[in-house]
Structure 1
Amino acid sequence: MSKAKRLIDILLFVSAKKKFTAQEIADTFHISVRTVHRYLLDLSDMGLPIYAEQGRHGGYTVLSNAILPPILFTEEEAVAIFFAFQSLHYYRDLPFNTEIQSVSQKLYESLQKEAKKKVDTLQSYIAFWNPKRAITTPLLTDVLEAIINQSQLHIHYESKSGITSKHIQPIGVYAHDGLWYMPALLLSSERILLFRVDRIKGIKVGETNRKTTMNLQQWLETDYEPQQPIRLYVELSSEGVRQCLSEPHLEKAVVRHSDGTGYIDTIIDQHELHFNSSLFFRLGQHAIVKEPQALIQLLRQHAHELLAIYPEPKEPQ
């Protein structure tokens, strides 16, 4: 039997046993204790976390029971996995960031010379770019652990009205545009709200016996139903169409004419008016809002505030 095959067999054996002696391995595989010690050193060098206990009743303990057996990848599969990890490179904060870097390095080092050359070349031409935010998300890992444990959270959350306390049941977290978001059930009203994880300033883990009625994937695929529905009707120039097609929350609502112009006629929630007012104010003449009147008033307010900052210069006497 080859040494590689023997090492794999011993790896599977010790991972299942967790605690063992060199004599147990020697008896199981019909090899000498001296050879067992040599194999265990090889496995330790390969990354298997083994702790040796000295003394008459000593032996070995695998410090982690989450050891996976070796998996054989084709060269293309290994390159694909490497670049999957690289797609996360531009996020400032990631759960398991140290482990991701470790796996990426192990994958790269395991590649043959030609495959490494291919990876090095591709990295010069391919990037999975996200804006690298200066905003930190220090509680991301803590939030994720609470979600995995299906725990309720008491959070201190920073918003326009200041820091408030919320009692929530998180559904999950997802990354978008360089930021992390968390939909969660607000337990005081049974409404699902969306929180930015970087704005969570403190958490306290609560009960773990309550579950939401949906998981993150279901929430992402659920059609949004406004709590306070209001009609949004906007006429768009061709540039307005192009810009609005780049906005995820408006993309599906854009109707394009044959000449490139178009319009938006959809239902939004009233609490989204302030968010949309900033977008349409930026688009200026390329997005003419017809409804609702409340949004038109917000746009007029933005214009007056800007004119107050930049008044007409006085004519010289």
Structure 2
Amino acid sequence: MKKSERLNDMLRFLNEKKQFNLSDIMSKYEISKSTALRDLTSLEKIGLAFYSDAGRYGKYVLLNNQVLPTIRFTENELFALYMSLLMIKEYRSLPFTAEFQQIRQKFLENVSPRMRQQLHLFENKIQFENQKHPYASLYLKEVLYYSINEAKVVMFYNKKEYTVQFYQIISRFNQWYVQAYDYGNRTIKTFRCDKIEGLNKLEADKGLAPERISKIAGCNKLERSCLFKVEISSSLVDEYYKENYPTIKLKEECGHYFLCGQYHPMELDFVLSYLAKFVSGMIQIEPVALKAKLLDYFHKQVSHLQKL
């Protein structure tokens, strides 16, 4: 390993430590004591702050350091990063405050003029055709924050109130979803982030450990014994892409389209209201019991309309 490469790696190695011994560096990089001392002198010159503690066991103590080596990318790596950047352009909402144009501008300002021209040509030649959604996820940043911090929150969603703990955030077809533990019925539910109307953190209540929620999620999967498969006409495929959920997949088999999924018995009302959007183009419903429940759902809707 060249000295410059070794120093860069050493910066990363030491940046996460509070203290170290000279022997740590000697053994990791297989270098002599004199070489290790010269390397430490070089690191100190480029900003790594530390002092020598000449106690019984002797050690080096690091001060607050945020010194990291400059990251260098190959051309292929830059193209891959820029493509990843372009992919977020279609999102209506992002879980951070920076906007696409701002990030893009900073990226292009930090590459060579020749590479900048190549990236402009690359951007003009590639196009991502994804479903654009008109509704913003106003609380996406908070959802991510509360999820990371394992917070228990009150969520206002579709005119209802839930006490939840966010578990996992999912992006699908440029739409954001969050899986959360619902303290009300003690199960994992999936919510659309753009339908969240407000969040209040319960400061006094401590959330569940992630391991506990993972275990509950595993049990929920076992309990999701209600499987269904609904064939729909090709004219309704776009309807699926306008609004879809991680627990319901669209599958194509020999030119036929099927909505396939599974649900917890407590989620039946949600599944019925979702499938109702496709009733005009439904061809087949399995199981038959679900068809009966869907008919009952529509009878209740008609009954309500007749009373108006």
Bin the TM-score by the shorter chain.
0.5 to 0.7
Conservation of the 8 A alpha-carbon contact between 1:133 and 1:179: yes
Deviations 1:169-223 (A, max 9, x none): 211212223332111111233200112223141221444462144778x969x95
* Contact 2:155 2:197 survives alignment (8 Å): yes
Say whether the 8 Å CA contact 1:255–1:264 is kept in structure 2: no
What CA RMSD, in Å, does the superposition of the two structures yield over aligned residues?
A: 4.7
Give, as a single letter, the amino acid of the residue that structure 2 aligns with 1:251: L
> What pairs with 1:1-317 in structure 2 (closer than 5 Å)?
28=41, 68-98=68-98, 104-151=104-151, 153-159=152-158, 162-164=159-161, 166-198=162-194, 199-206=196-203, 207-208=205-206, 210-213=208-211, 225-226=223-224, 229=226, 232=228, 234=230, 239=234, 249-252=248-251, 255-256=253-254, 260-261=255-256, 270-271=268-269, 272-281=271-280, 283=281, 287-289=283-285, 291=288, 292-298=291-297
Identity %: 22
The alpha carbon displacement at 1:92 in A equals 2.5
Distance 2:304 2:110 in 1: 60
Q: Larger helix proportion, structure 1 or 2?
A: 2
Residue type of the alignment partner of 1:197: C
SS of residue paired to 1:88:
helix
Residue-by-residue CA offset, 1:97-142 (whole Å, 9 max, x unaligned): 4287665444323333443222212212323344443323232222
Whether the 8 Å CA contact 1:93–1:136 is kept in 2: the answer is yes
SS at match of 1:135: coil
Rg comparison, structure with higher value: 1
Contact persistence 1:133–1:178 (CA under 8 A) = yes
Aligned-partner SS, 1:107 = helix
8 Å contact kept, 2:155–2:164 = no
Q: In the alignment, is the contact (CA less than 8 A) between 1:75 and 1:111 conserved in 2?
A: no
Letter in 1 for 2:187: R
Contact 1:79/1:115 (<8 A) preserved: no
Matched AA of 1:295:
L
Give 1:53's aligned residue: none
Query: Which amino acid letter does the alignment assign opposite residue 158 of structure 1?
Result: Y
Deviation at 1:302, TM superposition (A): 7.7
The one-letter amino acid paired with 2:178 is: M
Distance 1:154 1:117 in 2: 47
Shift of 1:262: 7.4
Change in Cα spacing, 1:82 to 1:250, as seen in structure 2 (3 Å) is closer
- Give the partner amino acid of 1:168: V
SS in 1 for 2:155: strand
Secondary structure of 1:172's aligned partner: strand
What's the counterpart of residue 313 of structure 1? none
Q: 1:79 to 1:277 in 2, by over 3 A?
A: same
Please state whether the residue corresponding to 2:71 is helix, strand or coil.
coil
Judged with a 3 Å threshold, the aligned counterparts in structure 2 of structure 1 residues 77 and 288 are, in CA distance, closer, same or farther, namely same
Q: Which amino acid aligns with 2:274?
A: F
